[in-house]
Amino acid sequence: MIKVVLVDDQVILRESLKFIVEQDPEIKVVGLGSNGEEALNLCGELAPDVVLMDIMMPVCNGVEGTKLIKSKFQSIKVIILTTFNDEENISKAIKNGADGYVLKDIKPDDLIVAVKSVAKGFSIMHHTALNTVAKQINHDKEPTQRKQEPKFDINLTDRELSIIKLIVDGKSNKEIALSIFITEGSVKNIITNILEKLNLKDRTQLAVFAVKNNIV
């Protein structure tokens, strides 16, 4: 059973989220909070597996709440859920240790998948948010850094590099397959091989790794 704490300053949204995620029999909402400080206290009391938390809240917002939780409870996963898809909030949330960042227009089934995936140790990010993070990381680099050769010493084929660039652009496996004229199954296999080569868990980590190491 995945224990979840929901944190949002709007009661109706907390109750709605509770109803949605508990449609899955493997998820149980064990606590509800209205700001980041309450989230921290609930983590100490209830030891949840995942905290699903809004960003814009009074007293202590989700970005600061993530920082507080991760400073004391590294094993607890935090998913930021928000209507805001801006560079500053996304960048701060990820830097503070957020394990996922999804927008509130996410479909109920996809939200459940996000909770279960993060609980298993995968990073989850809404595709538009992923694009924003990639751009922000690239923007934060010094101009000299952008011109440097990649920092890693792992051989990647031209096809693998092409697929990585398309992932950073937010393309789905189907869109990648159409772009480079191979089957969707082949795309999945190539991505799996890339993740194994780079010792990464998922597409989100791959995209951020690619930008940080000047692959794109």
Q: Evaluate if residue 67 carries a pLDDT over 90.
A: yes
Q: Evaluate if residue 151 carries a pLDDT over 80.
A: no
Residues 98 and 147: beta-carbon distance below 8 Å: no
Q: Which pLDDT value is given to residue 129?
A: 63
Task: Supply 196's token pair.
Answer: 């194994």
- The single-letter code of the amino acid at 5 is V
CATH architecture of 141-212: Orthogonal Bundle (1.10)
Residues 133 and 176: beta-carbon distance below 8 Å: no
Q: Which pLDDT value is given to residue 149?
A: 45
Q: Tell which phi-psi region holds residue 146, choosing left (phi > 0), alpha (psi between -120 and 50) or beta.
A: alpha
More confident residue, 216 or 54: 54
Q: Which pLDDT value is given to residue 110?
A: 87
- In the chain, where the domains are located: 2-134, 141-212
More confident residue, 210 or 39: 39
Neighbouring residues of 32: CB distance < 8 A, sequence distance ≥ 6: 5, 6, 7, 14, 18
More confident residue, 150 or 20: 20
Side-by-side strand order, sheet with 124-125: 27-33, 2-7, 50-53, 77-82, 100-103, 124-125
Phi and psi, residue 102, nearest 5°: -130, 155
CA pseudo-torsion sign 61, 62, 67, 73: positive
The crossing angle, in degrees rounded to 10, of helices 158-168 and 173-180 is: 130
Superfamily of 2-134 according to CATH:
Response regulator (3.40.50.2300)
pLDDT digits (tens, 9 = 90+) for 103-145: 888 889 989 988 998 998 877 776 666 666 655 555 554 444 4
Q: Which pLDDT value is given to residue 96?
A: 87
More confident residue, 86 or 71: 71
Phi and psi, residue 51, nearest 5°: -110, 125
The Cα–Cα gap between 170 and 132 comes to 10
Element spanning 135, H or E: helix 127-140
More confident residue, 73 or 138: 73
The Cα–Cα gap between 209 and 17 comes to 32
Question: Which residue has 């809004």 as its token pair?
Answer: 54
Mean pLDDT of 20-37: 97
More confident residue, 215 or 179: 179
